[in-house]
Amino acid sequence: MSEPNLSSPIVFVGAGPGDPELLTIKGRRLLDQADVIVYAGSLVNPALLDGLSATLHNSASLTLDECIGIMAEAAGQEKKVVRLHTGDPAIFGAIREQMARLDKLHIAYEVVPGVTSATAAAASLKAELTLPEISQTIIITRQAGRTPVPDKEQLRLLAAHQATMLIFLSVGMIDTVVAELTAGGYPTSTPVAVVEKASWPEERKVYGTLATISAVVKKADIKKTAMILVGNVLSGIGKESRLYDKHFSHEFRRGQEK
């Protein structure tokens, strides 16, 4: 069996969006070898933890201090610790505050990325988020709620770009999201999709436009754990990629004369 190439006592691991097979092989190995796992119980699929010998702690009911206390104590006893975060830990993962505490305690850590729910939702829709001549930019953001968003990043300002937008943590505020995006410049005909629990067996997805999506989401009673995707890339009217265009030359293929 291969040796783990991560030697830090604590590893932040991306659990993926839900489907247990959407976990990296490295993440799987670290979970299997862990002595202690602190997992984000609200969103991590418990199936990932089936049959493990590690001591499990659900961070949903823990404060930051308690969470760090558990990890630091285990690391001090030379145990292998995994901090398991949903999707990819770098996106709305609240990992930096934990790392700052570990830095103060001089405890080393590493990060293993995961499949974010952003791309899991796109996969479910069979969408390409960067269609040539439609949008080449993806904005990952959220609507301000109890957690504020910097003024310069208000949805209505970001909307000016009419780029592809992936909005986390906001489906419960769908009316505000729609109002902000419309005020910011997206036409009301802009396609919008909402994917609830992407990659879980109970996944649901609904489609509409900025004019209709609010009513559609409410009718479906989608209130949380959902990705809002916005932009003309969802209309499927994109042009074909130049990479495979027979007249387009690149490093590995000479294009045909027109």
Q: Does 86 bind ligand SAH (CB under 6 A)?
A: yes
CB 98 within 8 A of CB 83: yes
CB of 76 to ligand SAH, least distance (A): 28
**Closest CB to ligand SAH among residues 10, 189:** 10
Q: Does 166 bind ligand SAH (CB under 6 A)?
A: no
Q: Does 191 bind ligand SAH (CB under 6 A)?
A: no
Residues 55-84 that bind ligand SAH (CB under 6 A): none
**Closest CB to ligand SAH among residues 24, 55:** 24
According to the 3-state scheme, what is the secondary structure of 91-113? CCCCCHHHHHHHHHCCCCEEEEC
Sign of CA dihedral 237, 238, 239, 241: negative
Helix (H) or strand (E) holding 147: none
Helix (H) or strand (E) holding 230: strand 226-230
Q: Does 119 bind ligand SAH (CB under 6 A)?
A: no
204 alpha-carbon distance from chain centroid = 17
Q: Does 18 bind ligand SAH (CB under 6 A)?
A: yes
Rule CB under 6 A: choose which of 164, 190, 225, 232 binds ligand SAH.
Answer: 225
Using Cβ positions, the residue closest to ligand SAH within the complex turns out to be 87
Please report, for residues 11, 13, 18, 96, 157, the alpha-carbon distance to residue 34 in angstroms, rounded to integers and kept in the order given: 10, 11, 20, 22, 44
Q: Does 180 bind ligand SAH (CB under 6 A)?
A: no
Q: Footprint of ligand SAH on this chain (CB under 6 A)?
A: 17-18, 43, 85-88, 91-93, 116-117, 120-121, 168-169, 195, 197-200, 225-227
